Amino acid sequence: MLDRMPLSDALAAGLRWLYETEQPNDAWMQHLGQSIPVADNRSLTFAPSGANQLPVIAIEVSWPTWRKGPAGDLVPGNPLAPNELPRLAAALEQRGFSVRSTWNGFPAHSGSVGLARPAHHSQYAAVERYRAGCREHPARSVFCECDSWHAGFTRAVRPLALISA
Contact residues for Zn ion (CB under 5 A)? 134, 136-137, 144, 146, 149
| Minimal distance, residue 130 CB to Zn ion, in Å | 13
Q: Which is nearer to Zn ion, 146 or 161 (CB)?
A: 146
- Rounded to whole angstroms, the Cα distance separating 12 from 58 reads 14
Q: Within 10 A of 74 (CB to CB), how many other CB atoms are there?
A: 9
| Minimal distance, residue 89 CB to Zn ion, in Å | 39
Q: Which is nearer to Zn ion, 2 or 139 (CB)?
A: 139
Q: Which is nearer to Zn ion, 37 or 133 (CB)?
A: 133
| Residue 58, beta-bridge partner list | 45, 112
| Minimal distance, residue 148 CB to Zn ion, in Å | 6
Give phi and psi for 123, each to the nearest 5: -70, -45
- Rounded to whole angstroms, the Cα distance separating 50 from 59 reads 14
